[in-house]
């Protein structure tokens, strides 16, 4: 399949969320990437349920919600209620990951797991068949605009090999420092979904930038 683009709304203009949501609607992007941070799991706070609902009100594409929070199990049903189509939880924040994944799927969402840069893909060996997607963090989670961690490329290659060896259709998403150069390298390594925030929203023409990422 052709790779997907999921622009990160963390980098949008919060004072013009409707405008930027409608821009993504009209673009060649595939999903909305929405980062939820609690100030505990990561040193930042972003996007509570009201913001999620505000984006959902105008969005015409799937909402790809990435939880960087402690105890995500407590909020699974709320995220479904507020419009999440794909719900990503961090391996590092889930004591009982299999139970969390089942809860997400039972709520009617696609389940994904994110790995921090220091976490090896081997931790997903047993749970991989249960996942719609794995999110590889190519920066340390918490803030946009960070420099791409080049070791992520090898991580994507190894994860792609693991998925292929198990004959699965699990997607690989990458978030952090994505631009035209790192994006091309990631696609070549086996990534299926690129998340781009500041590269899109800080560009002179976000629509053209999204087209560029889509054409890699």
Name all domains of the chain by residue range, CATH numbers in brackets: 4-214 (3.20.20.70)
The residue whose two tokens read 């405008």 is 19
Catalytic (active-site) positions = 35, 175
* pLDDT over 90 (residue 144): no
Tell me which H or E stretch contains 133. Answer: strand 133-137
User: How long, in residues, is the chain?
Assistant: 216
CB-CB contact of 51 with 63 (8 Å): no
Per-residue pLDDT reduced to its tens digit, 82-111 = 999 999 999 999 999 999 999 999 999 999
Give the Å distances, CA to CA, from 82 to 57, 77, 175, 177.
10, 9, 23, 28
- Stretch 22-51: mean pLDDT: 93
Task: Classify the C-alpha dihedral 164-170-175-180 as positive or negative.
Answer: positive
CB-CB contact of 35 with 59 (8 Å): no
Give 198's DSSP letter.
Answer: H
pLDDT band, residue 125 (cuts 50/70/90): very high
Q: Report pTM.
A: 0.96
pLDDT band, residue 47 (cuts 50/70/90): confident
pLDDT band, residue 17 (cuts 50/70/90): very high
């Amino acid at each position: 399949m052709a790779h997907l683009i999921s622009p990160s709304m963390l980098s949008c203009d919060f004072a013009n969320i409707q405008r930027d949501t409608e821009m993504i609607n009209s673009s060649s992007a595939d999903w909305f990437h929405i980062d939820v941070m609690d100030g505990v799991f990561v040193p930042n706070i972003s996007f509570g349920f009201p913001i999620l609902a505000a984006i959902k009100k105008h969005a015409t594409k799937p909402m790809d919600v990435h939880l960087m929070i402690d105890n995500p199990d407590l909020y699974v049903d709320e995220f479904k209620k507020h419009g999440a189509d794909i719900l990503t939880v961090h391996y590092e924040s889930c004591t009982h990951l299999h139970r969390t994944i089942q809860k997400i799927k039972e709520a009617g969402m696609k389940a994904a797991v994110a790995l921090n840069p220091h976490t090896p893909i081997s931790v997903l060996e047993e749970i991989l068949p249960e996942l719609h997607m794995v999110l590889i963090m190519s920066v340390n989670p918490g803030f946009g605009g960070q420099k791409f961690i080049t070791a992520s490329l090898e991580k994507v290659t190894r994860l792609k090999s693991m998925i292929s060896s198990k004959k699965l259709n699990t997607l690989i998403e990458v978030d952090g420092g994505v631009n035209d150069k790192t994006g091309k390298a990631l696609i070549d390594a086996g990534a299926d979904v690129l998340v781009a925030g500041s590269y899109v929203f800080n560009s002179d023409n976000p629509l053209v930038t999204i087209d560029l990422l889509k054409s890699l």
